């Protein structure tokens, strides 16, 4: 089986977010980049399945400039076999999805896996868009993922319960919490890092697709007034404030 | 000019989040000088459909296809596309929930429509069409311009105040053409959950963290939730340790919630946790550690031992509820 997994290059979850150029650009100063947490979860699951005996070739795909290559190399060091980078700035989602659909068409992949959402632009749109470009079935935010022969067994949390699903290849899925049941972080060792340097990383140019969305300005949340401290021996005061001042009870 | 609102019903009933979408859509329609049409599936009763009129929808299109009783993103996208074209929709609004997240991206490709996901407010401008959306997991917001002729947005839950605005509503039945192959993903089984309030629907959440020391100490959390008519949630370590079920985990990698009131007990407030709850209107934190980062984000705080403070607070809430 050949899997194509989308690897996002996103600011570390603990990053302090700032903007420059009159709040029109994300300030990348001092930002440490990581593989998107949901994509890392998905990759970990694929590697676990492979370790357990599923025959699998894992290719990563990233839409991004050369700056994303250390993140891609990290995915290779974790155990992916090779990588494709579409050499373009990742901004508009339809543009990104179109690029990934093209990469899929140009290889003989059986499945595309994305994270449930990126933690920077929080779109959560890629898997549906890619699937639609390719006219393939998809499941978003799968909370369980198994492969049994030519079948994919999935679970998805829905209103009031869990939905168990069955799909066949080719297929598109986005990984939510639970996708990898007991994720052991795969911290690349020295050998992994050395081998990753030699693994193929193919750079392709993007296909044309007009951007239909554009971010024109960023805002930080309004600073909150200082927390009102309440004496632990006077909890009635909290009840009064929640009722009279905050009006939430 | 027309606005289409995707209104999901659960077992033939609408939830408050749907009325929020309709109220929001009506406000946008006023700005654009147009009207709101709702679309739904599964043939809910006429009386139920009429509820949408109470919030200002002038028409609801009820898609009658029985195959849509099972969810398939592909099939739903086909059906929604046909309705959108039928009414010439130039703005389509979904809730930012599992249905919206599954259908909206596909519709975006079908209609070459720009999609802004996780919108939190009314458009700041209708030309160019500009909306505010959540980015960096709630650490910031962005103004996004959608340039395409047809536009799609998904609205974050609890972003807009539900208001009644009664109008006469027309109900129209519609049979969509669903191509074969749109049901390639087969539902096998639905495992119903405990029937408790879901964390994303709760208007008040009582949330517990590792400070509670063990699952056996959740009685007082559940008691508070019961007194307040609230849901219960938890931090990541608590769900990782299996003290509480995974569906209660709120935070960056769990569920993102925006209740009116979030009460955090024994949760330090790591940045990843705050990313999942910073949309809450009011936050209360109870923690022994005065240096806990949650105190910087919260509106009200009590420095104290949860095992002493929570039982007292439960008594105070009980007294308040009895008097109000």
Asked if residue B275 lies in contact with residue B252, where contact means CB atoms within 8 angstroms, the answer is: yes
The tokens for B114 are: 């720009």
Report the gap between the CA of A50 and the closest CA in chain B (Å): 23
If you write DSSP's letter for every residue of B28-65 in order, what string do you get? Answer: HHHHHT--EEEEEES---HHHHHHHHHTT-SEEEEE--
The neighbouring-strand residues paired with B2 are none
Alpha-carbon distance B87 to nearest alpha carbon in chain A (angstroms): 22
State residue B246's pLDDT score: 85
Residue B73 pLDDT exceeds 60:
yes
pLDDT digits (tens, 9 = 90+) for B221-267: 999 999 999 999 999 999 999 999 888 999 988 899 999 999 999 99
Judge whether B95 and B19 are in contact, CB under 8 Å.
no
Categorize the per-residue pLDDT at B194 as very low, low, confident or very high, splitting at 50, 70 and 90: low
Tell which residue, B98, B257, B140, B117, has the closest CA to residue A125. Answer: B117
Give the position of tokens 């809730």. B95
Query: Chain A, 71-110: which have a CB under 8 Å from a chain B CB?
Result: 92-94, 97
Residue A204, domain CATH: 3.40.50.620
Question: Which residues on B lie below 8 Å from A224 (Cβ)?
Answer: 297, 299
Q: Does any domain span residue A160?
A: yes
| Number of domains chain A contains | 1
Residue A162 is predicted with a pLDDT of 87
CA-nearest of B166, B180, B7 to B83 is: B7
User: How is domain B3-174 classified at the architecture level of CATH?
Assistant: 3-Layer(aba) Sandwich (3.40)
**DSSP of chain A:** -EEEEE--EEE-TTPPP-EETTTTEE--TTPPEEE-HHHHHHHHHHHHHHHTT---EEEEEEES-GGGHHHHHHHHHHT--EEEEE-S----HHHHHHHHHHHHHTTT-SEEEEES--TTT----HHHHHHHHHT--EEEEEEEEEEETTEEEEEEEETTEEEEEEEESSEEEEE-TTSSSS-------HHHHHHHHHS-EEEEPPPP----EEEEEEEPPPPPPPPEE--TT-HHHHHHIIIIIS---
pLDDT at A185: 83
- Kindly list the residues from chain A whose CB atom is less than 8 angstroms away from the CB atom of residue B281: 246, 248
Q: Do B187 and A213 touch (CB under 8 A)?
A: no
Nearest to B18 by CA among B40, B46, B43: B40
What residue of B is the nearest CA neighbor of A127? Answer: B105
Strand B59-63 and strand B231-234: the pairing is unpaired
Q: Does some domain include residue A249? A: no
Q: Which of A10, A11, A99, A137 is the mutation pick for testing B, counting most B CBs within 10 A?
A: A137
- Which residues on B lie below 8 Å from A136 (Cβ)? 184
Judge whether B279 and B138 are in contact, CB under 8 Å. yes
Q: Residues of B with CB below 8 A from A173's CB?
A: none
Are the Cβ atoms of B190 and A243 closer than 8 angstroms? Answer: no
ipTM of predicted complex: 0.94
Question: Which strands form A57-63's sheet, in the order they lie side by side?
Answer: A201-204, A82-86, A57-63, A2-6, A111-115, A171-175, A138-148, A151-158, A161-168, B186-192
In a domain, A234, yes or no: no
Chain A partners of B134 at a C-beta cutoff of 8 Å?
122
**Inter-chain residue contact A125 with B104, CB threshold 8 Å:** yes
What CATH fold (topology level) applies to the domain B204-323? Rossmann fold (3.40.50)
Residue B195 scores a pLDDT above 60: no
- Give contacts of A15 with chain B, Cβ < 8 Å: 136
Q: Is residue A235 part of a domain?
A: no
Q: Cα–chain-centroid distance for residue B120?
A: 11
Nearest chain B CA: its distance from A124 CA (Å)? 7
Give DSSP secondary structure letters for A132-164: HHHT--EEEEEEEEEEETTEEEEEEEETTEEEE
Residue B31 vs residues A177, B146, B147: alpha-carbon distances, Å: 39, 16, 18
What pLDDT does residue A231 have? 96
Dist CA B227 CA B318 (whole Å): 6
Per-domain residue ranges of chain B: 3-174, 204-323
Residue of chain A nearest B250, judged by CA positions? A177
Give the C-alpha separation, A84 to B321, whole Å: 60
Whether A208 maps to a domain, the answer reads yes
Q: Judge whether A123 is closer than 8 Å to chain B, CB to CB.
A: yes
Range of the domain at A10: 2-217
Chain A closest CA to B1's CA: distance in Å? Answer: 19
Tell whether B278 lies on the interface with A, counting CB pairs under 8 A: yes
8 A C-beta contact, residue B267 and residue B248? no
- B127-146 residue pLDDT tens: 999 999 999 988 899 999 99
Helices A37-51/A69-78 angle, 10° precision: 30
Walking along chain A (249 residues) 10 residues at a time, the average pLDDT comes out as 97 92 95 96 97 96 97 97 96 95 97 93 92 96 94 88 93 94 87 94 97 96 90 96 95
């Amino acid at each position: 089986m050949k899997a194509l997994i989308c690897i996002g290059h996103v600011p570390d979850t603990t990053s302090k977010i700032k903007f420059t150029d009159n709040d029109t650009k994300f300030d990348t100063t001092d930002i440490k980049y990581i593989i998107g947490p949901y994509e890392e979860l998905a990759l970990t699951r694929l590697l676990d399945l492979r370790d357990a005996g599923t025959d699998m070739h894992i290719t990563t795909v990233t839409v991004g400039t050369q700056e994303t290559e250390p993140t891609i190399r990290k995915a290779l060091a974790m155990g992916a076999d090779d990588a494709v980078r579409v050499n373009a700035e990742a901004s508009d989602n339809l543009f990104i999805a179109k690029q990934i659909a093209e990469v899929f068409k140009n290889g003989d992949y059986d499945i595309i896996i994305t994270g449930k959402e990126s933690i920077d632009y929080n779109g959560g749109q890629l898997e549906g868009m890619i699937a639609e470009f390719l006219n393939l079935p998809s499941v978003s935010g799968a909370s369980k993922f198994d492969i049994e022969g030519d079948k994919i067994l999935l679970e998805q949390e829905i209103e009031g319960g869990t939905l168990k699903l069955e799909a066949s290849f080719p297929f598109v899925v986005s990984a939510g919490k639970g996708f990898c049941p007991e994720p052991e972080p795969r911290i690349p060792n020295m050998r992994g890092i050395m081998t990753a340097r030699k693994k193929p990383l193919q750079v392709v140019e993007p296909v044309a697709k007009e951007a239909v969305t554009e971010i024109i300005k960023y805002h930080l949340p309004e600073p909150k007034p200082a927390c009102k401290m309440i004496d632990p021996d006077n909890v009635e005061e909290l009840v009064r404030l929640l009722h009279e001042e905050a009006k939430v009870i | 000019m027309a606005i289409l609102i995707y209104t999901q019903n659960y077992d033939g009933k609408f939830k408050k989040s749907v009325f929020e979408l309709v109220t929001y859509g009506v406000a946008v329609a006023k700005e654009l000088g147009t009207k709101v049409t709702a679309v739904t599936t599964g043939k809910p009763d006429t009386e139920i459909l009429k509820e949408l009129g109470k919030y200002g929808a002038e028409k609801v299109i009820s898609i009658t296809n029985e195959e849509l009783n099972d969810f398939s993103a592909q099939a739903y996208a086909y059906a929604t596309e046909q309705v959108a074209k039928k009414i010439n929709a130039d703005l389509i609004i979904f809730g930012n929930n599992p249905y919206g997240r599954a259908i909206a991206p596909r519709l975006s490709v079908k209609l070459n429509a720009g999609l802004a996901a996780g919108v939190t407010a009314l458009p700041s401008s209708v030309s160019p069409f500009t909306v505010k959306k959540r980015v960096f997991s709630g650490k910031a917001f962005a103004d996004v311009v959608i340039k395409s002729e047809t536009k799609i947005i998904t609205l974050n839950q609890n972003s807009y105040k539900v208001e009644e605005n009664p109008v006469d509503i027309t109900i129209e039945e519609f049979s969509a053409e669903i191509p074969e192959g749109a049901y390639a993903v087969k539902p096998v089984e639905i495992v119903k959950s405990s029937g408790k309030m879901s964390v994303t629907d709760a208007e008040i959440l009582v949330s517990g963290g590792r400070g509670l020391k063990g699952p056996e100490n959740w009685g007082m959390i559940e008691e508070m939730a019961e007194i307040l008519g609230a849901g219960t949630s938890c931090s990541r370590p608590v769900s990782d340790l299996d003290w509480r079920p995974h569906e209660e985990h709120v935070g960056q990698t769990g569920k993102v919630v925006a209740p009116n009131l979030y009460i955090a007990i024994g949760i330090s407030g790591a940045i990843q946790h705050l990313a999942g709850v910073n949309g809450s209107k009011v936050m209360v934190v109870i923690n022994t550690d005065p240096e806990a980062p949650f105190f910087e984000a919260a509106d009200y705080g009590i420095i104290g031992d949860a095992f002493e403070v929570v039982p007292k607070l439960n008594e105070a809430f009980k007294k308040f509820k009895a008097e109000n």
